[in-house]
Amino acid sequence: MYSDAFCKIYNEFGWNYFPEAFGEQLLAWLKEHQITVRTSLDLACGTGVLCEILHSSGIQASGMDFSEGMIEIARSRNPSIEYEVADMISYRPDKQFDLVTCTGDALNHILDLNDVEQIFKNVFGYLGAGGWFIFDLLNEKEIPSQEPFDLDFNDEVHSQFAVTQDADGVITLKTTVFENGRLQFEERIHEIVHDRETVCSLLEKTGFQIQKCSHQLLEDSEGEAATWYIIARKPLL
Q: Which residues bind ligand SAM (CB under 6 A)?
A: 2, 18-19, 44-46, 49, 65-67, 70, 87-89, 103-106, 109
CB atoms inside a 10 Å sphere around CB 146: 9
Helices (H) and strands (E) in the chain, counts: 6, 11
Minimum gap (Å) between residue 123 Cβ and ligand SAM? 12
CB atoms inside a 10 Å sphere around CB 160: 14
From the list 59, 56, 103, 98, the residue with the least C-alpha distance to 77 is 56
> What gap in Å lies between CA 123 and CA 117, rounded to an integer?
10
Q: Which is nearer to ligand SAM, 19 or 131 (CB)?
A: 19
3-state secondary structure of 47: coil
Q: Which is nearer to ligand SAM, 12 or 87 (CB)?
A: 87
Minimum gap (Å) between residue 2 Cβ and ligand SAM? 5
Q: Which is nearer to ligand SAM, 107 or 232 (CB)?
A: 107
Q: Which is nearer to ligand SAM, 173 or 179 (CB)?
A: 173
| Position of minimal CB gap to ligand SAM | 104
> What gap in Å lies between CA 130 and CA 140, rounded to an integer?
30
Minimum gap (Å) between residue 1 Cβ and ligand SAM? 6
Minimum gap (Å) between residue 105 Cβ and ligand SAM? 6
